[in-house]
């Protein structure tokens, strides 16, 4: 149970760092603009659903977590 606590604290710190990075104007220019991301603009309303970006980030995160599991 202690390892889960450490993992949650580490995940929280990483998310905090990413949040500060993106709120300060930093970022990855292609993130959210991949082919397959849906953006609909009509009459002043904007709908955005980043399907491809979500899939890419999910694959990257899965590979990183599998690597950590393999190294442990």
pLDDT digits (tens, 9 = 90+) for 15-55: 888 887 778 776 677 777 889 889 999 999 999 999 998 99
Pick 29 or 64 by higher pLDDT.
64
Which residue range is the domain that position 47 belongs to? Answer: 31-72
- pTM of the model as a whole: 0.58
At 68, the pLDDT band (50, 70, 90 cuts) reads: confident
Q: How many domains does the chain have?
A: 2
6 pLDDT higher than 90 = no
Whether residues 15 and 37 fall in one domain: no
Q: Taking 90 as the threshold, does the pLDDT of residue 4 lie above it?
A: no
Instruction: Answer yes or no: do 38 and 4 share one domain.
Output: no
pLDDT of residue 72: 64
Q: Which residues pair with 4 in a beta bridge?
A: none
Among 26, 11, 23, 20, which Cα is nearest to 61's? 11
Structure tokens at 54: 């979500």
User: Within 10 Å of residue 53's Cβ, how many Cβ atoms?
Assistant: 17
Tell me: do 19 and 38 sit in the same domain: no
Residues 48 and 61 in one domain: yes
């Amino acid at each position: 149970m202690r390892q889960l606590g450490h993992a949650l604290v580490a995940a929280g710190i990483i998310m905090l760092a990413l949040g500060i990075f993106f709120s300060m104007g930093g970022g990855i220019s292609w993130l959210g603009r991949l082919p397959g991301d849906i953006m609909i603009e009509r009459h002043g309303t904007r709908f955005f659903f980043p399907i491809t970006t979500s899939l890419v980030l999910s694959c990257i995160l899965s590979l990183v977590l599998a690597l950590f599991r393999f190294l442990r």
